[in-house]
A and B are shown apart, each in its own frame.
Chain A
Amino acid sequence: MITAEQKPIDEIREMITPFKRILALGCGSCVSECAAGGEKETGALASALRMACKIEGKEVVIGEKTLDRQCVKDFVIELEDIINNYDAILSLGCGAGVQTIADIFPEIPVIPALNTDFLGETKDQGYWIENCIGCGDCMLFYFGGVCPLARCSKQLLNGPCGGAVQGRCEADPETPCAWQLIIDRLTFFNALNRLETIYPPKDWSKKQGRGPRKIIREDQQK
């Protein structure tokens, strides 16, 4: 899922300063799962902002709503009936959600309340970790299901580097060396010989397109 964290409240307050009627808009998908922008977090942020405005003696209306998905037009158009009540939207969606709303309702400013972080796994309660960079050309098969691009601090396809000691990464000793994990997994599957190959330079054009990457599938189009 896409992980995100709420921006510091002071940064949010500064961004909403010019507006009098603000819709705090949550998203019920990924950011709800990682407790950053779901219904609960939207309610809490709206309350905190109302309180702050009250203390400052500002008359600001802060409405609340949570869409199932901010990044899908079919859900975003639900805002059509209420959007005229507001002069700004404070989105608790990921960056894709913020931009979908801005795209569909270009006349209203959309303010991001979250910092979108990464494509991650819920490792434990309250613990999310990046393990996919969305490179567009998955190589997990070759590396025993451990991605060196996401999990090695130097993105080595022919690792490990000389800094790995006792299975820990030199850049962050809290993090296991991805290459140690790869070697352990491939040893277990008796496939360590896969690493004798020199993996060629990555085709980064699949990750970094000419502008935004797109997927266009005619079979899915009406």
Chain B
Amino acid sequence: MKDISLLKRILDKGEFAVTAECGPPKGADPDAVIKKAVLMKGKVDSINVTDNQNAVVHMSSMAACILLKTEGIDPVLQMVVRDRNRIALQSDIIGASAIGIRNILCLSGDHQGFGNQPQALGVFDLDSVQFIQAVKNMRDKGRIIGGDPLSKSPELFIGAAANPFADPLSFRVVRLAKKIAAGAEFIQTQCIYDLERFIQWMDMVSERGLTDKVYILGGVTPLKSPAMARYMNEKVSGVSIPQDVIKRMEGVFKKKQREEGIAICVETIQRLKEIKGVSGVHIMAIEWEETVGEIVERAGLLPRPI
């Protein structure tokens, strides 16, 4: 069973899935990845590895995924279209499958201007929707863009991102539908703090019949401090944190702030479990991986089913 996506098996069984995120290090240090893997092993079903997040140079997502596999973890390979043209993207898809990676998350990527290489050329040869479609055609039809056949098709569970908090809201659902039509089988959302808006979005998603076609994993990030909440609200594109959440973080003593952030996160997960059409949760504990186990346990999601 090693060669089948654990995430897909869990979701297909109808279990509430739990995934987490692992940002690779800014250096050639394998132990940094292994350390995060050990912290989260057994607490989550799969670990998602970011691809040069914030357009800052890190260890490659592919390499970090291989390191996770050596620890017996089912990795989700994030791949952004910012840095690779269609030749490189398709080549990496083939390579990822060949080394046993079974999940891919197809993304546009943060704009190169945000990171530490602002003079880089942004490739954007394909967009994320076209990329999803390319992966699906490679897998299901054994053909690359242009129609040439592959000697062996890649085996990948295909994921995409959705941001219920970006504008315009009505069109967000249209774009999600396009990603699903292109081949997305699971969706990871942007961090959820504004449950009201998330529910509004989910209603629109259900209304369009999309919850029957795709697994939606709600994204959550535990807050460490009110400053982090304000920073994410103002500076991180696509993230929106309601004032009452910020106030709640401000309303506790400094020593208790992390505890409050975890509590908010656990409550959010509990609410998400109740929402029809939400198939799991994706925990993005940014450089705070040691807290993931506690969050999963307190949200009543342990032990993991497989």
Chain A residues within 8 Å of B, Cβ to Cβ: 153-167, 170-172, 177, 180, 183, 195-196, 198-202, 204
In order of increasing CB-CB distance, the 3 nearest A-B pairs are A162-B163, A170-B237, A163-B237
Q: Which residues does chain A contribute within 8 Å of B82, judged by CB atoms?
A: 154
Which of B170-178, B199-207, B290-298 interfaces with chain A?
B170-178
For this complex, into which size category does the number of interface residues on chain B fall? 35 or more
Q: How far is the CA of A196 from the CA of B177 in the complex (A)?
A: 8
Asked whether A154 lies within 8 Å of B124 as measured between CB atoms, the reply is yes
Asked whether B113 lies within 8 Å of A171 as measured between CB atoms, the reply is yes
- The interface residues of chain A, by DSSP majority, are classed as loop
Asked whether A198 lies within 8 Å of B129 as measured between CB atoms, the reply is yes
Q: Which residues does chain A contribute within 8 Å of B181, judged by CB atoms?
A: 198
Provided the pairs A154-B122, A167-B167, A198-B182 are in contact, do residues A160 and B129 lie with their beta carbons within 8 angstroms?
Answer: no
Provided the pairs A162-B161, A163-B238 are in contact, do residues A157 and B171 lie with their beta carbons within 8 angstroms?
Answer: no
Q: Which residues does chain B contribute within 8 Å of A167, judged by CB atoms?
A: 167-168
Q: How far is the CA of A201 from the CA of B90 in the complex (A)?
A: 13
Of listed A172, A200, A204, residue having the most chain B CB within 10 A: A200
Of listed A153, A157, A198, residue having the most chain B CB within 10 A: A198
Q: How far is the CA of A19 from the CA of B9 in the complex (A)?
A: 74
Q: Which residues does chain A contribute within 8 Å of B109, judged by CB atoms?
A: 154
Subset of 15 A-B contacts with CB under 8 Å: A154-B108, A156-B124, A157-B130, A158-B127, A158-B130, A161-B166, A162-B161, A163-B110, A163-B237, A163-B238, A167-B168, A183-B171, A198-B133, A201-B130, A201-B134
Q: How far is the CA of A170 from the CA of B190 in the complex (A)?
A: 15
Q: How far is the CB of B165 from chain A (nearest CB, A)?
A: 8
Say yes or no for B126: interface residue by CB 8 A criterion: yes
